[in-house]
Amino acid sequence: MTVAYGVKGGVYVNMTNRCPCSCMFCLRNNAEGVYGSGSLWLEREPTVEETIEALKPWLEKGVDEVVFCGYGEPTERLDDMLAVASWVKAANPSMRTRVNTNGLSDLINGRPTAAEFVGKIDVLSISLNTDDAREYLEECHPKFGIDSYEAMKKFASDAAKAGIDVVMTVVGEPVTSRAKQERCREIAESLGARLRVRPYEG
Ligand code: SF4
């Protein structure tokens, strides 16, 4: 099972396949993995120790970033993920750490969580997807319902206020029109984040 795999100079970490969403555009709908990773479907979730062991060769080889991403939502294992991130920072304080997330950590974990990332995670990449809560619900089908969009934005705002570099993402045209991208940019900036438009990969 693939727990750590290389992408463009960084190492990506896959600790869970759990996710509270079922996005229309999820890569998992069509592929076993990404960037030659092999299958990212886990037979079982790796322990913190197993994840660290999987990471060690990559850190020894020399990578510029550790990204908690997964084939699932990494904050489903928030405590374990942050334990691994703490180990990374202790082993190599200058290593950049990032989490690619749907931003629903507070709903998943039942508490405000942004402050817990401080000192362990440098960058949060949060899928904003759209400027509209109902559209978000229809595209991502979060199990928490219509409140999910506002909860995701609050998490982003809390994280930015706590000093984390927050990047919110949308997919470019033709999925997201130029006008909608601009509205998303305004939303991201109002939360203290910046917007990144990801290229549409059809
Ligand atoms: S949040 Fe991410 S992992 Fe979960 S269904 Fe959506 S795209 Fe897939």
d(CA 182, CA 188): 10
Instruction: Pull the structure tokens for residue 114.
Output: 């942004």
Q: What letters, b where the CB count within 10 A reaches 16 and e where it falls short, cover 176-202?
A: beeebbeebbebbeebbbebebeeeee
| pLDDT score, position 33 | 85
Tens digit of each residue's pLDDT (9 = 90 or more) over 96-115: 999 999 999 999 999 999 99
The ligand 1 atom at the shortest distance from the C-alpha of residue 28 is: 8
The CATH number of whichever domain residue 135 belongs to comes to: 3.20.20.70
* Residues of the domain holding 180: 4-198
Which residue CA neighbors atom 8 of ligand 1 most closely?
26
Q: Is the pLDDT of residue 76 over 90?
A: yes
Q: Which residues line ligand 1 (CB under 6 A)?
A: 19, 21-23, 26, 28, 72-73, 102, 140
* Of residues 56 and 70, more confidently modeled: 56
What do you get for the CA distance between the two ends of the chain, in Å?
A: 27
Q: What is the pLDDT of residue 37?
A: 83
pLDDT value of position 35:
81
Which atom of ligand 1 lies nearest, measured to the CA of 104? 1
Average pLDDT of the segment spanning 32-36: 84
Number of domains in the chain: 1
Dihedral in degrees, nearest 10, Cα atoms 54, 55, 61, 65: 150
| Minimal-distance CA residue to ligand 1 atom 7 | 26
| pLDDT of 161 strictly over 80 | yes
Which pair of tokens denotes residue 159?
Answer: 């994280």
b/e 103-132 (16+ beta carbons within 10 angstroms → b): bbbbbbeeeebbebbeebbbbbbbbbbbbe
- What is the rounded distance in angstroms from the CA atom of residue 30 to the CA atom of residue 23? 12
Q: How far is the CA of 60 from the centre of ligand 1 (A)?
A: 30
